[in-house]
Amino acid sequence: MQQTHRTGPGPGASGRPRVADNGRRFYLEIGRGIRWPACLLAAALASGAAPAAVASAVAAQQEAVATAAAPPSMVASMAAAVRQSAQRLAPRQRILLDEGWRFHLGDPEGAGDAYLYDIRPQVTASADGKVADAVPEEAARVAASARQVLKPWILPSGNAFIADAAKRYQRPAGEPAIDAPFARAGFDDGAWKAVRLPHDWAIEGPFLASGPYGGMGRLKTWGPAWYRKTVRLDATDAGKSIFLDVDGAMAYASVWVNGRLAGGWPYGYNGFRIDLTPYLKAGADNQLAIRLDNTPESARWYPGAGLYRNVWLTKTAPLHVGQWGVKVTTPEVSPEAARVAWQVRLENAGKVPAMADVVTELFALDEQGRPGAAAVASSTSARTAVAPGAGIDVAGAARLPKPRLWGPLPNQKPNRYLARVTVRQDGRVVDRYETPFGIRSLRFDPDSGLVVNGEKVPLRGVNNHHDLGALGAAFNVRAAERQLQMLQEMGVNALRMSHNPPDPQLLELTDRMGIVVMDEVFDSWQRKKTPLDFHLIFPDWHEQDLRAMLRRDRNHPSIVMWSVGNEVGEQYTGEEGAAIGRELVAIAHQEDATRPATSAMNWAKADMPLPATMDVISLNYQGTGIRTLPGQFPAFRARFPDKVILHTESASALSSRGAYQFPVPGVASAAVRPGSGGDPATKQVSAYELFAADFGSSADRAFGALDQNPYTAGEFVWTGFDYLGEPTPYYDARSSYSGIIDLAGFKKDRYYLYQSRWRPELPMAHILPHWTWPERVGQVTPVHVFTSGDEAELFVNGKSQGRQKKAPYAYRLRWDYVNYEPGEVTVVAYRDGREWARSSVRTAGEAALLQAEADRAVIAGDGRDLAFVTVRVADKDGRTSPRASQRVRFKVEGAGELVATDNGDPTDLEAFPSPERAAFNGLVLGIVRARPGAQGDITVRASAPGLREAVVKVRAVRGED
């Protein structure tokens, strides 16, 4: 039996390896007509095939195991042989270390502060409710102490990102004087919890029902935590360089190997690398332990906790491409031809000089991220000498005719390429490194804003914090993809990373989906917003953290600008603060001269020093006007006529999905107040979408400010999705009210207001509120309509309520004096005098049944892919009961399991893993995954007392089925 396999050496969107044999057809016969794809190993021997191709030999062998009629002993021995061969032959291995971890909260008994990174200020009182635009404060002074801290051993971990070699840190002689039993190989961790990464230990709850920390999501994220994993090295690993690559760990990570402190990284949002080579033993088991020490009062939102992103083991030859060591730029771009340039950082960890030959090949990627069989360009550098313990940069370039350009949807296509760098030493392949990139031109015009490939791209963007709702901070590709898909449906073409480096997989999604990105690194500099935030480590780590983000992310074509700060306190410190801004912008230019750098400002005025240090003027709320202050767009335009000006945060409108409050004021925008948009008893904000945080505005008012200042480049709305923490104005709640989409992923009415503006060619009309108000018969119940049309007529039970045209700088149509009567409300929207769209809402009857729908019918059986199941409470005719609050219970049968539930209610303090949850205004969500390795049907049942049960099925499939 001959197995056939798909081609393409790189991982696709799912992250699983695919077989790549470049047309070779060699097989190893093992009896009974079974052929195994030994061609991959033979090709690796002959030409140093890509690591993904070698790894794919294992995948192919496993596929054959599942279908071939071979004796189990033969299958097992062949599997072992293929794995061992792949390990020996791969010039570079990148091994995902997400399985087999043990987790424990707390330090060894009596350890006290022995593991502290550094002495911290004392926090004597905690409080919630500080307004989001409060003035950051001067850092607290910390008295000197003779107590040992780990800082001297951790600081050298960032040396690669300090440009001035004289400022790099020397590791102290010897080990810190700590007895670290949790780090020792002999420690028995059998009683510790078995976990799989990414892991956010705090998201399970319970929520804190009283006291402060509403700002951090009412979830306890602080305190020491340990992760342990045994790592087995093959004897063939002797002489290799071996690194631990962590995509994100919250926070103050210290990495221990076989009882010794190898290094660490304080900032919880950045990826980092620790060289494990001096601490590991080849041909033996090695004990890896990672301690985290997230602090209270560390953030203004939910930071998450734990090893919440992927962790990797990277093995290379002593001569290898350095960390994030390939930089690709496209200095010349036109439809006819493009010049692609690259710089490769070679590092020699060996003890003797090495002579290196570097071959760089460029491949076109298809929509699934698979490279073509043949390179579209290649170049070989001159032989280069690399001294022991040193690094050197090797440059090259190629010209591509008729390039496939990367550009944002919907008018352009996100085409991508792959740069494959092969390093040979003495004719032998010793390393191969691959990085995707895109070919596109960027221009920033003060009148047109962002111009990509010659096309003006108005920024129709949102801000998002990094949590994924009920999943917490633990990154999940499908959950993030679902968010981006919903945002693109609304018309989003841009995303601002608020206010920290994202998971690298999120940038892979924005590359693939054609969304432009503002990548941001810091929320604070030297001045603090919370007592224990990043300001504590900014003086020692700002250069390392900024350069690390820039090097990691610079090849992503979706990134169009860098942000070095957000609403920093240095706005208030004149030239002193500007000096810091100038330093950070200079670092950004050193690492990447192809994109501008900016910092989002909410207070600095046009005549102050800080704005002048930035390439782009980025205003938070000031463009529209904060509180009683007038809009600042004209002042900045007059002072900086040659700079692009944009809204990095606009609106900050607030609402609770489906929670309408009366009376409705006849204004376009208002701050939330009791009885005017806000209900302190229920802690809900009216869904009429007219209300905002004190410093913000409704979407309507923000639209007007942009339209009246047409030179502006666009906006990033605060926010796309509700997020955990910062629940302005009700800090007893768990999550924000500012999202266009609620925490569960249910669309608020505001979604359709943005869609009507950002997708003007989409025929649509949306009516609010719902029309089920039995207690309001005969009372005034305003009806508002969001439409991409320019006028509309409203009908209640067939009777016209009048036809209206949109007024200048008005973005909704309002019928504010409609008297409620049960039945049907219909709107007919027009454009240029012709019918454009129509929509209706009807009064719902008593709740009678549940309806369930999964976002996808088929998911991968890998334990990571997710199905999001929406359950609606409906009447007997299937109309959603818009005020229903019945408790719904989820039961999952078959190949899957329930991960979490949610309902979008910012006040719901039921723990997310609970299988039972009250519907919020008729809706509740269940998140389901397949058990790792499982296949077959997953049956999801939703039940509630007195209502007919709902059942939906999802199928889990293996691999690429």
Residues forming the active site: 567, 649
What is the rounded CA–CA span in Å between residue 264 and residue 395?
31
User: Which of 915, 909, 919 shows the shortest CA–CA distance to 947?
Assistant: 919
Distance, CA of 5 to CA of 325 (rounded, Å): 32
Contact 783, 815 (CB under 8 A): yes
**409: buried, middle or exposed (CB in 10 Å: 19+, 13-18, 0-12)?**
middle
| Residue 586 C-alpha from the chain's centroid | 26
**With contact defined as beta carbons under 8 Å apart, do 885 and 950 qualify?**
no
Distance CA 551, CA 80 (A): 37
| Strand spans (E) along 402-511 | 416-425, 428-437, 442-445, 449-452, 455-456, 459-464, 494-497
Structure-token match 């794919």, residue found:
56
CA 77-80-81 angle, 5° bins: 85
Torsion of CA 105, 303, 927, 475, to 10 degrees: -90
Q: Provide the residue type at 456 as one letter.
A: K
Angle between helices 72-89 and 51-67 (to 10 degrees): 180
- CB 377 within 8 Å of CB 340: yes
Residue 515 to residue 495: CA distance in whole angstroms: 7
- Scanning 849-946, the segments in alpha helix (DSSP H) are none
Full DSSP string of 687-715: TTS-EE-TT---HHHHHHHHHTSTTS-EE
The C-alpha atoms of residue 634 and residue 365 are separated, in whole angstroms, by 44
Using a 10 angstrom Cβ sphere, with 0-12 exposed, 13-18 middle and 19 or more buried, the burial of residue 822 is middle
Q: Which residue has the tokens 């020491």?
A: 224
Looking at the DSSP bridge assignments, the partners of residue 950 are: 942
Residue 839: CB atoms within 10 Å? 18
Angle at 436 between CA 430 and CA 439, to 5 degrees: 130
**Three-state SS annotation for 712-780:** CCEEEEECCECCECCCCCCCCCCECCCCCECCCCCECCHHHHHHHHHCCCCCCEEEECCCCCHHHCCCE
What are the C-alpha distances in Å from 382 to residues 395, 513, 849? 10, 37, 73
List CB contacts of 167: < 8 A, sequence separation 6 or more: none
* Closest to 245 in 3D by CA, of 588, 552, 587, 555: 552
Token pair in block for residue 564: 């070095």
Cβ partners under 8 Å of residue 445, min gap 6: 451, 456, 644
Contact 495, 718 (CB under 8 A): no
Distance from C-alpha of 255 to C-alpha of 269, rounded to nearest angstrom: 16
Q: Name the residue among 294, 280, 254, 273 with its Cα closest to residue 153.
A: 254
